[in-house]
Amino acid sequence: MGDTASLVTVEMPSGMYNARLDDRGRIKLPTDFQKYFEALGEKKLFVTSIDRRIARIFPMEEWRKYLKSLDTFPGDASIPRRIRFNSDKYGSEAEMDGQGRILFSPDLRRQLGIENQPVKIHKVQGWAEVLSETVFEEMDADATQLTLRDIDSVEKPRPN
């Protein structure tokens, strides 16, 4: 089982990276992501989609934390149930191979439209997200709506 110290020693890289799923459904990870996943004490990963639009690559320790957060969700019980259904339907355990590739299930690849396609990968909390070109373009267009007022509201110092 992985230990928390390994997560602190090597952090998941920040920024947006280009990657590609090959014709066998494997994503070739950028070198920085390869180093991060290699440094984890536990080699198993969980690859899934929560929303049926974006893939997530969870280190197993982070996946267990995520599941625990669903167990204690204080709101509508149907939300965690739907998330679990999606994650089970499209999810699979995987390990990074010696060439830095991770296999995505056929169902996940088809649902996200990323078979043999370029993708973007970036860090979100304790996992990596994999975006199709379509989703990336939608998010990019949405990000152009950000105003200086929005930025100021986030960056304004808050009272303790």
Report all structural domains of the chain as residue ranges with CATH numbers, in order of start: 4-133 (3.40.1550.20)
* pLDDT for 5 beyond 80: no
Spatial neighbors of 13 by CB under 8 A, at least 6 apart, are: 30, 32, 33, 36, 123
Report yes or no: 119 and 132 within 8 Å, Cβ to Cβ: yes
Q: What is the pTM of this model?
A: 0.87
Residue 41 structure tokens: 């004490």
Q: With a cut of 70, say whether residue 133 has pLDDT above it.
A: yes
- Whether residue 3 has pLDDT greater than 70: no
Residue 1 has pLDDT above 70, yes or no: no
Specify the pLDDT at position 57.
Answer: 98
Residue 92 has pLDDT above 60, yes or no: yes
**Closest-CA residue to 58 (of 23, 7, 21, 20):** 7
According to DSSP H, which parts of 91-132 are helical? Answer: 106-112
42-81 pLDDT per residue, tens: 899 999 999 999 999 999 999 999 999 999 999 899 999 9
